[in-house]
A = this chain, B = another copy of it.
Amino acid sequence: MTLDAVLAQIDSDLDASIDRLKDLLRIPSISTDPAFKDDCQKAADWLVADLVSLGVDAEARPTPGHPMIIGHVGEGAPHLMFYGHYDVQPVDPLNLWNRDPFDPAIEDTPKGKVIRARGACDDKGQLMTFVEAFRAWKTVHGKWPCKITFILEGEEESGSPSLVPFLKENAPELSQPDIAMICDTGLFDRDTPAITTMLRGLLGEELTIKGADKDLHSGMFGGAAINPIRVLTRIIASLHDETGRITVPNFYDGVPELSNSQKAQWENLGFDAKGFLADVDLSVPAGEQGRSVLEMIWSRPTCEVNGIWGGYTGDGFKTVLPAEASAKISFRLVGTQDPMEIRKNFRAMVESMLPQDCTVEFADHGAGPASVMSTEDPAFEAARLALTDEWPNAAACIGSGGSIPIAGYFQEYLGLPSMLIGFGLDDDQLHSPNEKYDLRSFHKGIRSWARVLDALTQTDTA
């Protein structure tokens, strides 16, 4: 009955909840670009002020990068830790947005109302689902459901460089909770909620191939002088074989085959592989031959070039033979693949392909292993049933192609299991122009957390 009151409070407060989310979305907290450092601080301060207004003992603690928000509040078991991140991806190419990415608005679309802005889903909209659930709970109950710790990060979109040192330094404080609730994942589909139990890891590499000591005239030197773009493209073209497998030596060490039961469960999900690709105007799965699309995005490792540049890239034409060419490359990892070993083997492979007149420089853009959650804790089943109560279909345990290394770090440095629940959709345009969050995701997301909190506090006291 009190759950019903909380749900009613959520429904009646929805407009105000949307206004608060819009306030947060107006702050361009792009963590990877130093030009937005002050905005990251501003977003952190905004969240701290909101948590403090709810009675949380919260502060934005400095790190070498952007601040880490830590907050404590409430009493009683279980002790839950809630994680989200307040930083967002860059917005380029800006010309492809249908509005200013930091001027959020509600838009009507054929699939319903959406909140359009950078970070609307990833991850400001998602983290505000649990903040709003707590606000409603506090309003109805006058107190918090149990002991809660918040950890809200500001560097998730730029490889989380400060996170592990921070967890290590604050382990006595942050290892107290029983479980971490991470809100940065998606629904399985529009009507099917999900707990994500497999996450791919991520290794980020940048390489710059250098040839002559300056840019050259391609007429005067073309033919005789090595072209670093040619060297770079040859290296990148060799990273996959004809069957789509990645050719870095020993790359597949630690890549597990799916168990038959997992395979069966995923087949039962009724995933529409054709529709998934057709949504982005594609039709042919581009990964390893003989694998299903769900395997390609959930349980198989990848190697993708995320950026490439060299020479003249402006309007018109310039017959330059450039001195260098660069690429940003990421590997998604699964099972027990070792990011450090793969980095070493990748770099050795690149170096072995360099012509005598070329050198290479590498930059490190983070490395995190894959995570596979243990779902034996009864809290998982309680949460799954609570989600099932809110949505049309029963909740599923699924994999995710994205990388949220935080779950692995919580396990490794704090000894905490994690539960990943989120409400994003495949068409939310994360990291792309015109990012959005369905109003339904936001609204039912807040309601879902109220149900999960209710279930977990009852489970625990039962």
Contact = CB atoms under 8 A, between A and B. Distances in A.
Contact of A225 (B204, B206, B219, B280): B280
* Highest count of chain B CB atoms <10 Å: which of A34, A93, A236, A273: A236
Interface string A283-319: 1111110000100110010101111111111111111
A191 interface: no
A63 interface: no
Interface stretch (A1-9, A49-57, A395-403): A395-403
A308 B306 contact: no
A154 interface: no
A224 B92 contact: no
Chain A's interface size range is 35 or more
A287 B223 contact: yes
A309 B309 contact: yes
Nearest to A300: B223
Contacts of A34: 315
Given A402-B217, A432-B215, A222 B304 contact: yes
A245 to B, nearest CB: 11
Interface string A186-222: 0000000000000010101010000111111111111
Contacts of A365: 316-317
A305 B206 contact: no
Interface stretch (A71-79, A128-136, A423-431): A423-431
A328 interface: yes
A240 B211 CA distance: 18
A240 B236 contact: no
A215 B433 contact: yes
Interface stretch (A99-107, A226-234, A258-266, A378-386): A226-234
A110 B313 CA distance: 34
B222 A401 contact: yes
A426 B216 CA distance: 10
18 contacts: A32-B314, A32-B317, A32-B318, A89-B318, A90-B314, A92-B314, A214-B429, A221-B297, A223-B401, A224-B277, A226-B284, A229-B308, A230-B237, A232-B308, A236-B237, A282-B357, A307-B312, A312-B328
Given A157-B318, A226-B282, 5 more contacts: A220-B426, A223-B300, A227-B286, A286-B357, A318-B431
